[in-house]
Structure 1
Amino acid sequence: MFLKLSTLKLKFPSNIPPWLNFPGCYFVFSYSNALRLNPETSINPPSLDDFEENIGFLKKNLHPDNLIRVLDKTQDSNSAIKIFKWAALQKSFNHNADTYYHIILKLGLAGNVKEMDNFCLNLARDRHAGSGEALASLVHTFVRHSRLNEAIRVLGNMTSCGFNPSVDVFNDLLGALVGKTDFQHVLFVYKEMVKGGIVPTVATLNSLLEVLFKINRIELGLNQFRRMRKKGCCPNVRTFEIVLKGLVLNGRVDDAVLILHEMLELRYQPDLSFYTCIIPLFCGENRLEEGMMLLRRMRAADLVPNSVICSKMVRCLCMNFCLDDATSILEEMMEIGEIPPVESFVDVVNGFCEAERYDEAIRFLENNCYDLISPHKALLEGCCKAGNFFLGKSLLEKMSERGMADCDSWNILLGWICENVGINKAYELLGRMIIRSVVPDCSTYAALVVGNCNLNKYKDALELFYYIRCNFWVLDSKCYSRLVEGLCHLKRIEEAVEVYYYMSKSRCPLEVTTFNMLIKAVCDVGNVDEAVKLRSLAYYSGTSCSTSIYVTIMLALHKSERAKDVLVVLSQMVIGHCEVDVEAYCILIRSMCALNRFKDCALFCKLMITEGLMPDSETIHSLFSCLMIHSQLHLVSNDIGEIISRMEIPDSTIFNMLINGLWTEGCQNEARNLLDLMLERGCVPDATTHALFIGSNVDRVKSRGVPTYKKSMDEDNVSNILADALGK
């Protein structure tokens, strides 16, 4: 029975056998002899790794077992090769499968794959007694030492010389390759198996399925799974485990549920490995029904769920507010002597808090985790989130009496008071905290900073910040942003910058919106160079830079008549993968106009139009004025019509300026089209524009003998209008 994998192909050079086309990996592993030596013929060789001394020893005691001992104790692989070849030249000695085994193993573990291949071929071609068994044993040994490349080479040499390794050899190697997700080598080994006429077992096909799911070839994996029975190889429990795991990890949970039911209908009996793998996967996807069904079947089979299964099951139950069931699972674990992970108790407490069942949460703590701090903290946080201050205060007092209230516990309640009650109450709690001999930490002072910021007491907040800085602490993200925002609102820009510098040097990122506010505040006071420095620190601290930050700096540079620096900021913007928006384009165009770089003006204008963006009226006026002064309107001649048509109320001045400019540059057709658009908008050409078209079109009408307007009653172009005006 073979599977068809015609869609998956391996390409090897035509002149090199595929099993010799894998690069060697050079590592050294310790190992023990896989073959027992005969103590009757074995004599201990010299301990020194000395070639001449080893040869001298073997001249008197040349026997396969003694040679093997010498090879194993020779550290240098090149010396081992010389000794092996020397022995082959001795008339009274013949190498056997055992000696070949040891030299090949030594070379393979040393990464000398070229010499290893040569000896493998010699062993396979010479057909020594036990050659096949020795080569197969080498494959197993290399797999055991994670030398998979060497194992593949040995296998390739075996099959090329006509040996047919057992299916166990292939399965052992395939299983190891699957663990490394080495699909190309898995496919190579499988094809060698097929070429040798060896019938795959379910273990073989399981390895193939597993690697297919690992490389996201889901449909191909499912197809092979469905064809197993048709080819006379029934899937086992391990097969279903592989398929279900592959589907769930690739987001095909519904398909996994269908196959699970199919498996159970076929009366397969899952083992402990199956349950340990699949129950946590379904729980992680919040598939409570399937998780509970498997847990019940597991219990019915007298299998005891381990802590991994129970913890995942408890979390899933808590997410679905099945808190009684979650509590029962924990109690059952404790009854059999299994200690549940602390996280499971925390999950149950969080579930009670979300369900607002605080009394039950307290009872749960008292009955099941009286002395665990983390579940008590979870309840304290739940009380604060629900605004249940008195319950939280009472819980903290109990924790303190039991010696369980650490600094983090006090900070939970203190932070909530600073946010929702007031700084005075916070200082009262701080006093109690100190009386209880709990030393405030950075989070304590950060909470006080937030409390002062809420009351606009930024002087006090800064004093607390300076104390934090003296202790080389850092603010949390929330406190950091709140302090910088408040200082910016109060126009205390220097202090805000000071806070940012300190936090950035500590690699603490600032929220994007707050950073935008800081950059704008710095630019508004005319300190654009400082803003540039702040932005350069953003990468170091991990602060994200949005498009608006770059635009703010570009605008400040443009207003400071530093148009060249605008392009530098643009390059940084592009490197930072920020989108160039309409405001950025407008600033760029106006800056290029200021530098009289009319080609760049036209380039940025074309990019805007291509992206469906429209410059504002100030930018349009600057662009057209710059191009007209330099007689370069033709650079945007194809875009002028679209720009004007999308303007809300273009005035006659712009039309007349553009028409005259285009006409002067020799773009008469574009000028006529623009005049048509001008008249459609109800604007009146000035005398200069009128004179241009009278002079050109009268001559053209007279020379043709027939007025242009008579060619088509539907046309309404420049020629028609002027002919009518002249009475021709």
Structure 2
Amino acid sequence: MALKAVSRLRSARWRLLSAKLIYRSCSDIPASPDTGSSSEFDTAIRLLKNNLQPERLTRVIDSTSDSSLALRIFRWASHQRYNLRTVDTYSCMISKLTAVEYRDDMDSLLGDMVRLKVPALEQALNGLVQSLSSKNQFDEALLVIQHATSAKLKLSLSACNAMLRGLVKQGSGLRLFMLAYMEIVKSGVLPDVETLNWLIQALCESGRVDLTLIQFDRMNKKRCSPNSHTFEILIIALCSHNRADEAVDLFYKMLQLRCTPDGSFYAQVIPLFCKFSKVKDATKLHQMMKEDGLQLDVHLYGVLIRCLCENQLLDDSIMMLNEMVASGHAPRASAYVDIVDCYCTSAKFHKALIFLEENDVTESEPYNVLLRWLCTDGRLQDSVRYLEKLHNRGLVDCESWNIVITHFCNQGNIRRASELIGRMVVSAFAPDESTYSAIISCYCRLGLHIDAFAMFRRVSVNDLSLNSESFSQLVEVLCHTERIQEAIEVFKYQYKRGCSLTNKSLDMLIQGSCLSGRIREAVQLRSLAVCTGTCTFFTYDIIIQALLHLNKEKDVLVLFAQMVMEGCLLDGYAYTSLLRSFLTKETIFEAAILFNRMVNQAFVPDQDTFELLVNDMALFSFLNMVAQSLLKVVNTRVGT
């Protein structure tokens, strides 16, 4: 009896000692700098020791923001004599381990979890998949599915669809999607139409439209019938690949299968059919919407009106507009713009005005379309008359005046344009950039460079800028009249406002600067032009020739270095021009380097340049440096 008591006492002491050692070993797990402190761990352990229950462990883990600390607490709890390992505690812990560095820990815990073999296991795994998918943790959700499959556990279809939906919405790519899809199939989950829709959408978004159509044809074999969303995905994909005729065929197949379109289908497909001028099919969808009791929104009405107008179905577009108004929608200005444009295409200008008046249109955009058409049709006097009439009714804006003024300027009628500007100012509309650009462009075409530059001064005083066309014209006319300093002034002013010259105008300015002895300024202008993207090799070549004319070969080298740094692409002409520039005593070494680079990039100099190169390389003893390149050129010419 005494021996039994001693034995029990020793056993109890051993269990107590073991528990202390386990506690200390878990407490001594080193915390990384990013994890909770040891005091947080100790506090959590004290809370659990007072009431060591699975529910309490779950709450403690869930309230711990640091994943590493939560994992330490879970490991400590798993070594206690009480069975705290439930699906809830595992689920809570696993959902914490979403960072990449905890992937192995998650894998290990999932392996332990699926071995529990309790009734609530499948439900917990489903919850994990849905929870992880909602957080875009798809790799982790896939890991859960893989463990469920290996343990022959069957996940719910809704959980699997949630993951597939997340993969598509997140744009995770076809590879990861197919990996997840194959795991789901392997687990024995039978797909439904939603599953196959996500598969079809993933294939479409990866550009595999033909493979998608094959999957669509196989849906019946999988005991699934396509729904409205299936056809919507396929029609969008076909249209995005310019296969609109096939999309229309698919639409009629949808009708044959008695598949009823939903609101999303109408909203997506009607604009696509309109885009590809499938007027009959778009209007059929519109009619089906009305029959289904669905209301079109302002956007869809606008799309249909534009489609009808683009196909010259004016009466139908007006009927559509009237239907839109009757349904309680206020048409946007763009709808009136499209209808007016359709009227004007048939030169029905007066009817267009009557249409706007009958509909009490107060926005200026449709009237501006009418004015622009009158000007384009050469009816400038009518445009002035309409402008005055609309102005008296308060239906014009600054653009309305500019439309008419610009067309008078394009006709070279500066006097009439100036009169209109005066009336524009009197009418409380201030001339803007478009106004000044039109006037300056007209002055330039008439050769009135002094007036053009004077108008530019007014632009600068008003802190405005010119459009690219008038800017370039002004620089060109000033260069033609050798007013280089004024041209430079215009360039620098416009440059500060982010405006760019045409290549032709820039080259004229650079050349004029060089010819007038302003080479340093020409180099500066070139540097500014590079920032606006309007600098070609010809621009560099102008400066190079000017520098060579002044025997400044070293400056040419500096400019060439800048060209290379700025990424200027050289063609055969550019290489040849530079090579000839470098064939001097001072730059012969650089010429050798440039020639080797030229040949390595598969460019060959012309015969004259080649002969000059050989002579100069021989004269200055550099033949050995270019010998291989010379042989390549010779072999190339022999081969041709």
Q: TM-score range by the shorter chain?
A: 0.7 to 0.9
Q: CA deviation at 1:325?
A: 1.9
Letter in 2 for 1:384: C
Are residues 1:145 and 2:135 paired?
yes
CA contact (8 A) 1:417 1:426 kept: yes
CA distance in 1, matches of 2:100, 2:593: 65
Letter in 1 for 2:486: E
- Among 356, 364, 387, the alignment partner of 1:373 is 364
User: Counterpart in 1 of 2:28?
Assistant: none
User: Counterpart in 1 of 2:310?
Assistant: 319
Residues 186-234 of structure 1, C-alpha deviations (whole Å, 9 max, x = no match): 0110121232233322322221221122122233323333333455444
Q: CA deviation at 1:177?
A: 0.6
Are residues 1:134 and 2:124 paired?
yes
Query: Compared with structure 1, are the counterparts of its residues 96 and 292 closer, same or farther at alpha carbon in structure 2 (3 Å cutoff)?
Result: same
CA distance in 2, matches of 1:156, 1:339: 55
Q: CA deviation at 1:85?
A: 4.6
Q: How does 1:561-572 map to 2 (within 5 A)?
A: 561-566=551-556, 569=559
CA distance in 1, matches of 2:473, 2:212: 53
CA distance in 2, matches of 1:178, 1:493: 60
Q: CA deviation at 1:247?
A: 1.8
Q: CA deviation at 1:312?
A: 2.4
Q: How does 1:290-369 map to 2 (within 5 A)?
A: 290-368=281-359
CA contact (8 A) 2:471 2:501 kept: yes
Residues 341-375 of structure 1, C-alpha deviations (whole Å, 9 max, x = no match): 33232222233333322123212322335122322
Query: Compared with structure 1, are the counterparts of its residues 105 and 252 closer, same or farther at alpha carbon in structure 2 (3 Å cutoff)?
Result: same
Q: How does 1:518-597 map to 2 (within 5 A)?
A: 518-541=509-532, 543-566=533-556, 569=559, 580-595=570-585, 597=588
User: Counterpart in 1 of 2:189?
Assistant: 198
Are residues 1:415 and 2:406 paired?
yes
User: Counterpart in 2 of 1:671?
Assistant: none
Residues 603-623 of structure 1, C-alpha deviations (whole Å, 9 max, x = no match): 749958996877275x46634
Percent identity, aligned pairs only, is 35
Are residues 1:177 and 2:172 paired?
no
Which sits farther off after the overlay, 132-141 or 468-477? 468-477
Are residues 1:451 and 2:424 paired?
no
CA contact (8 A) 2:231 2:254 kept: yes
- Among 393, 401, 415, the alignment partner of 2:392 is 401
User: Counterpart in 2 of 1:160?
Assistant: 150
Residues 286-333 of structure 1, C-alpha deviations (whole Å, 9 max, x = no match): 333443343334334443333333222222222222222222222212
Q: Secondary structure at 1:189's aligned position in 2?
A: helix
Residues 559-578 of structure 1, C-alpha deviations (whole Å, 9 max, x = no match): 33344554555565566666
CA distance in 1, matches of 2:284, 2:541: 57
CA distance in 1, matches of 2:382, 2:51: 87
Are residues 1:270 and 2:275 paired?
no
User: Counterpart in 1 of 2:487?
Assistant: 496
CA distance in 1, matches of 2:76, 2:568: 69
CA contact (8 A) 1:96 1:129 kept: no
Residues 39-71 of structure 1, C-alpha deviations (whole Å, 9 max, x = no match): xxxxxxxxxx96666555555555555554444
CA contact (8 A) 1:606 1:639 kept: no
Letter in 2 for 1:215: S
Residues 686-725 of structure 1, C-alpha deviations (whole Å, 9 max, x = no match): xxxxxxxxxxxxxxxxxxxxxxxxxxxxxxxxxxxxxxxx
Residues 88-127 of structure 1, C-alpha deviations (whole Å, 9 max, x = no match): 5555563433333333334449996555444433322223
Letter in 2 for 1:199: L
CA distance in 2, matches of 1:360, 1:485: 44
Which sits farther off after the overlay, 105-114 or 492-501? 105-114
User: Counterpart in 1 of 2:228?
Assistant: 237
- Among 365, 376, 380, the alignment partner of 1:385 is 376
CA contact (8 A) 1:282 1:288 kept: yes
Q: Select the structure of larger CA radius of gyration.
A: 1
Letter in 2 for 1:498: E
CA distance in 1, matches of 2:283, 2:565: 51
CA distance in 1, matches of 2:364, 2:356: 10
User: Counterpart in 2 of 1:463?
Assistant: 454
CA distance in 2, matches of 1:575, 1:251: 42
Residues 13-37 of structure 1, C-alpha deviations (whole Å, 9 max, x = no match): xxxxxxxxxxxxxxxxxxxxxxxxx
Residues 72-101 of structure 1, C-alpha deviations (whole Å, 9 max, x = no match): 444444444455455555555634333333
Query: Compared with structure 1, are the counterparts of its residues 165 and 615 closer, same or farther at alpha carbon in structure 2 (3 Å cutoff)?
Result: same
User: Counterpart in 1 of 2:496?
Assistant: 505
Q: CA deviation at 1:157?
A: 3.2
Which sits farther off after the overlay, 102-111 or 242-251? 102-111
User: Counterpart in 2 of 1:6?
Assistant: none
Letter in 1 for 2:371: L
Q: CA deviation at 1:379?
A: 2.5
User: Counterpart in 2 of 1:101?
Assistant: 91
Query: Compared with structure 1, are the counterparts of its residues 340 and 88 closer, same or farther at alpha carbon in structure 2 (3 Å cutoff)?
Result: farther
- Provide TM-score, normalisation by structure 2: 0.81
CA contact (8 A) 1:380 1:413 kept: yes
Q: CA deviation at 1:173?
A: 0.8
Structure 1 unpaired stretches of 5+: 1-48, 647-728
Query: Compared with structure 1, are the counterparts of its residues 410 and 233 closer, same or farther at alpha carbon in structure 2 (3 Å cutoff)?
Result: same
CA contact (8 A) 1:558 1:587 kept: no
Aligned residue pairs, count:
596
Letter in 2 for 1:489: H
Letter in 2 for 1:481: S
Q: CA deviation at 1:387?
A: 3.1
Q: CA deviation at 1:485?
A: 1.8
Q: CA deviation at 1:136?
A: 0.7
Q: CA deviation at 1:336?
A: 0.9
Query: Compared with structure 1, are the counterparts of its residues 544 and 57 closer, same or farther at alpha carbon in structure 2 (3 Å cutoff)?
Result: same
Letter in 2 for 1:236: N
User: Counterpart in 2 of 1:121?
Assistant: 111
Query: Compared with structure 1, are the counterparts of its residues 104 and 645 closer, same or farther at alpha carbon in structure 2 (3 Å cutoff)?
Result: closer
CA contact (8 A) 2:503 2:535 kept: yes
Structure 2 unpaired stretches of 5+: 1-38
CA distance in 1, matches of 2:256, 2:563: 60
Q: Normalized per residue, which structure has more helix?
A: 2
Q: CA deviation at 1:448?
A: 3.1
Query: Compared with structure 1, are the counterparts of its residues 333 and 510 closer, same or farther at alpha carbon in structure 2 (3 Å cutoff)?
Result: same
CA distance in 2, matches of 1:205, 1:511: 54
Q: How does 1:203-222 map to 2 (within 5 A)?
A: 203-222=194-213
User: Counterpart in 2 of 1:723?
Assistant: none
User: Counterpart in 2 of 1:435?
Assistant: 426
Query: Compared with structure 1, are the counterparts of its residues 442 and 642 closer, same or farther at alpha carbon in structure 2 (3 Å cutoff)?
Result: closer
User: Counterpart in 2 of 1:186?
Assistant: 177
CA distance in 2, matches of 1:335, 1:363: 20
Are residues 1:247 and 2:238 paired?
yes
Query: Compared with structure 1, are the counterparts of its residues 181 and 327 closer, same or farther at alpha carbon in structure 2 (3 Å cutoff)?
Result: same
- Provide TM-score, normalisation by structure 1: 0.72
CA distance in 1, matches of 2:102, 2:639: 75
Q: CA deviation at 1:165?
A: 1.0
Residues 539-581 of structure 1, C-alpha deviations (whole Å, 9 max, x = no match): 322x332343233333333433344554555565566666644
User: Counterpart in 2 of 1:477?
Assistant: 468
CA contact (8 A) 1:507 1:540 kept: no
Query: Compared with structure 1, are the counterparts of its residues 468 and 133 closer, same or farther at alpha carbon in structure 2 (3 Å cutoff)?
Result: same
Q: Secondary structure at 2:439's aligned position in 1?
A: helix
CA distance in 1, matches of 2:58, 2:463: 63
Q: How does 1:14-25 map to 2 (within 5 A)?
A: none
CA distance in 2, matches of 1:113, 1:398: 75
CA distance in 2, matches of 1:468, 1:217: 55
User: Counterpart in 2 of 1:705?
Assistant: none
CA distance in 1, matches of 2:592, 2:111: 72
